[in-house]
Amino acid sequence: MQGRLRNEDLSFTIRTSCARTGEPIAFEMDSELNYTILEGSERPLIFMPFVDFDHLEAPSIIDDF
């Protein structure tokens, strides 16, 4: 999202663990929401919320879910 707003190619790496098994998970995501699994399961369930910020009334996206 930030990359689209700034008209720049950006990427980030997330390192976390599976809530059920504790297995480490790492993935990289780019500005176009393409991702590459770096560590862990070949097919982890990755959730990316799409938020309509024009209609968001809560103080944060967490409060709106």
What pTM was computed for the model?
0.56
Q: Which of 29, 2, 4 is nearest to 14 (CA)?
A: 29
Which pLDDT score is estimated for 57?
83
What type of residue sits at position 34? N
pLDDT per residue as tens digits for the range 7-60: 888 899 999 888 788 899 999 988 888 889 999 877 766 666 677 777 878 877
Torsion angle defined by CA atoms of residues 34, 5, 47 and 25, in that order, rounded to the nearest 10 degrees: 60
